[in-house]
Structure 1
Amino acid sequence: MIFDKLKKFDIVFDSPEMDCPPVFSSGDVVSGKVVLELSAESKVESLKLHAEGFAKVHWTESRSAGSSTAYTQNYSDEVEYLNRREVLLQADNGELTVLSAGRHEYPFSFQLPEETLVTSFEGKHGSIRYWVKVKLHRPWATVKKIKKEFTVIEPIDINTPSLLAPQAGTKEKMARTWYRSCGQVSITAKIDRKGYTPGEVIPVFAEFDNSTSRSVVPKAYITQTQTFIARGTMKQKRAVVATLCGDIVGGNRRETWHGRAIKIPPVGPSILQCRIIKVEYMLRVCVDVPGTSKLSLEFPLVMGTIPLHPFGSRTSSVSSQYSVNIEWLRMAIPEQPEPPPDYSSVVSEEEAVQNSTEVQPEEDLSGVLQRSLMAYVQEFRLRPPPVYSEVDPNPQPFAMRPRCMTC
């Protein structure tokens, strides 16, 4: 039987670099070869290739109805992005093909759709995957199958006006003790832009005005939200991926951040164009207000794959050169002085309910980032970020500072 004679059956993608898996985007040509190695002469009916790409979500929810009756509800959906078939070996007259002993290679090549694809992703309740599957048909034997996934990274260029515009905001809240007002706490903050790439540093400009008699601690967080959608129902998974903790602000005092740096870890790019899976990021600048919920400012972030042009801003610290790093594929987080806190420590239960119609219990960072295959991202070789002084040599009221605070 050919099964006994088949020593090797493999799919090898063409790659510009040795030992480096290729990365594709919409419109690219995927090429490679199927390798057959036989120990003796064998007969083959056909060798067929099938390239596929899908976004899929699935989860179950158990609901109780009374004291003893329960049922499970399934939610699932999928979106097809690629479906291409190709015959690599088959006789025109339907007869068998006799292959001699030794190595046989069958090249393949196909173009990905021109329309925008979605970046490869792997999450708890869904995935976005692309693969090539090859079937070897032979007489009097079961079909031999082999499957190999490939990576798609859809470029996100942060050098666009909408992603380069600065973000700023102000919020205030009254602090209460036993239903008595004891003063006001306010936050005014700004960041340079909306679009960033992993590895960059975000300088945070902020002022915290504490008019109460109690101390508060200003903080900043970068959070990731994965959203899975099926049958009109939404499932969300959130995690804190980076933190910044400021100095304690005493009663009736004010604290100013002159570009306090928070570094973006090697997370996956934003996924915003998929109907059933989304990956979004947010920078939250907040303080705990005595007697009430957190006071926070939220700035949406877009994690891109094409870094800021060197002349676009002095905050650019990434090169246009990149490569794929296996640790990034696992979304491994580099060593930090302390792990990020749970999401529950950033957002109160009241805020979580307001932010989503259906949000799962908050989970820590390790639950999201230690999977076998997470979102594929690019590695950027970094130069050291610019140094920002934490003490302004020429202090002035926050409202009187120039609008372009990075100049």
Structure 2
Amino acid sequence: MGTRQETFSDFNIKFNALNENASFSSGDCMTGEISFVLSTITKLRSIEISLNGKAHVFWRTCTGSLRRRRIKNHSANKDVFNFRAVVLEENTAIGPTILQPGAHVYPFTCHLPEGNFPSTFHGIHGRVVYSLKVEIRRPWHLVKEFQVEFNYANHIDANQPKLLAPLSGSVGKMVCCLWCASGPVEMTVRIDRDGFVPGETITIMCEFSNASTRDATPTASLTQHQKYSTLTRSKKKIDLKTLDSVTGKPVKSGTLQAYSEMSLTIPDTSLSISNCSIIEVVYTVLVTLSIDWSTDISVTLPIVMCDLPVHTSPDTNVYQN
């Protein structure tokens, strides 16, 4: 006996890009094509599409001894949106649409719902996923389904006044040498704004005063905080991911005033998420001054990962095919 040939093959869903990131946002008009190849004459009742956005988290905790270990699962699901549209519909007076063998292409157009939805995210213990599903209905057949993910970006404009304001922080301590205080160590850290986009460089200006008898070394790091929680927020899980780090020039003992500049490069990473009840994504710049034979001092500055860089707007950020 020969191998049964599948009715559908080479199924593809193509999106027409609106920007260089191939992302979509609230209220965007999404256009594209659904294409497939038929091996035989096929009757279709309808072709429908659905846009779905879902957030999901999952992690495990272990308690007890090795002999009586208890493993507990923590999970949560949240629907972001669900939208349906019809691409091809059966004419009730004529009956099903009859398609001949060969390639078929169906363009589609739909508008994403308006709303404040979280950006696409794939993390260690959770994700925010947006997908387009195509459902093909035929007489006396199960529904044929095809699904593909698309990238959704919640517009965060770095040109907002609150994100253009500079950030700074200061910290200091007395350094003791046995029973005597050897002098204070102080550090002030500044960055020129709050909002950045992936690919940019963060310039960190530091001012030091080291009146102690110990040398000190500054380091800077860019950290992503992934925060997960259940629907009741009674259980939470936090994971930290260092995206970039750099070590500055040592600050010698007895230095009353020193200036240093360090740079961090932002890799291709997720946008900040603060509008989802079960997933939060936060970024910080952490500058630590490590003091020989003493505890460190540090300054943490929160930043926001945006999708629209400084001096641009949605109108000037359109991608031309």
- Give yes or no for TM over 0.5: yes
Aligned mate of 1:240, from 234, 239, 242: 242
Matches within 5 A, 1:191-230: 191-230=191-230
The residue that corresponds to 2:174 in the other structure is: 174
Q: Does the 8 Å CA contact 2:221/2:285 hold for their aligned counterparts?
A: yes
TM-score (norm 1): 0.69
Shift of 1:179: 6.4
1:88 aligns with 2:90: no
| Distance (Å, rounded) in 2 between the aligned partners of 1:130 and 1:117 | 11
| Distance (Å, rounded) in 2 between the aligned partners of 1:108 and 1:322 | 21
The SS at the match of 1:309 is coil
1:187 aligns with 2:187: yes
The residue that corresponds to 1:24 in the other structure is: 24
Q: Does the 8 Å CA contact 1:176/1:291 hold for their aligned counterparts?
A: no
Shift of 1:222: 1.6
| Distance (Å, rounded) in 2 between the aligned partners of 1:128 and 1:259 | 36
Residues 267-324 of structure 1, C-alpha deviations (whole Å, 9 max, x = no match): 33222222211111111222113444320111111121211128xxxxxxxxx7587x
The residue that corresponds to 2:302 in the other structure is: 300
Shift of 1:67: 5.5
The residue that corresponds to 2:15 in the other structure is: 13
The residue that corresponds to 1:335 in the other structure is: none
Change (3 A) 1:3 1:293: farther
| Distance (Å, rounded) in 2 between the aligned partners of 1:8 and 1:220 | 49
The residue that corresponds to 1:273 in the other structure is: 275
Q: Does the 8 Å CA contact 2:18/2:24 hold for their aligned counterparts?
A: no
Shift of 1:83: 0.5
Shift of 1:209: 1.3
Shift of 1:258: 5.4
| Distance (Å, rounded) in 1 between the aligned partners of 2:253 and 2:91 | 86
Shift of 1:125: 0.6
The residue that corresponds to 2:110 in the other structure is: 110
| Distance (Å, rounded) in 2 between the aligned partners of 1:2 and 1:53 | 36
| Distance (Å, rounded) in 1 between the aligned partners of 2:121 and 2:295 | 34
Shift of 1:142: 4.0
Change (3 A) 1:184 1:268: same
Matches within 5 A, 1:4-403: 4-15=6-17, 22-64=22-64, 66=65, 68-93=67-92, 95-178=95-178, 181-230=181-230, 231-232=232-233, 233-254=235-256, 256-257=258-259, 259-309=261-311
Q: Which runs of 4+ in 1 moved over 6 A?
A: none
Shift of 1:103: 2.4
Shift of 1:141: 4.2
Change (3 A) 1:140 1:228: same
Higher relative contact order (CA 8 A, sep 6+): 2
| Distance (Å, rounded) in 1 between the aligned partners of 2:29 and 2:121 | 20
Q: Does the 8 Å CA contact 1:218/1:247 hold for their aligned counterparts?
A: yes
Shift of 1:91: 2.5
The SS at the match of 1:162 is helix
| Distance (Å, rounded) in 2 between the aligned partners of 1:251 and 1:303 | 37
Between Structure 1 and Structure 2, how many residues are aligned?
311
Residues 168-187 of structure 1, C-alpha deviations (whole Å, 9 max, x = no match): 22211122345654332111
TM-score (norm 2): 0.86
Shift of 1:3: 6.2
Task: Extract unaligned runs of 5+ from structure 2.
Answer: none
Q: Does the 8 Å CA contact 1:215/1:249 hold for their aligned counterparts?
A: yes
Q: Does the 8 Å CA contact 1:27/1:112 hold for their aligned counterparts?
A: yes
The residue that corresponds to 1:345 in the other structure is: none
The SS at the match of 2:69 is strand
**Which structure is higher in helix share?**
1
Change (3 A) 1:227 1:42: same
Shift of 1:155: 1.6
Q: Does the 8 Å CA contact 2:215/2:291 hold for their aligned counterparts?
A: no
Q: Does the 8 Å CA contact 2:48/2:86 hold for their aligned counterparts?
A: yes
**Same amino acid, percent of matched pairs:** 31
| Distance (Å, rounded) in 2 between the aligned partners of 1:52 and 1:82 | 6
User: Residue type of the partner of 2:212?
Assistant: T
Q: Does the 8 Å CA contact 1:121/1:128 hold for their aligned counterparts?
A: yes
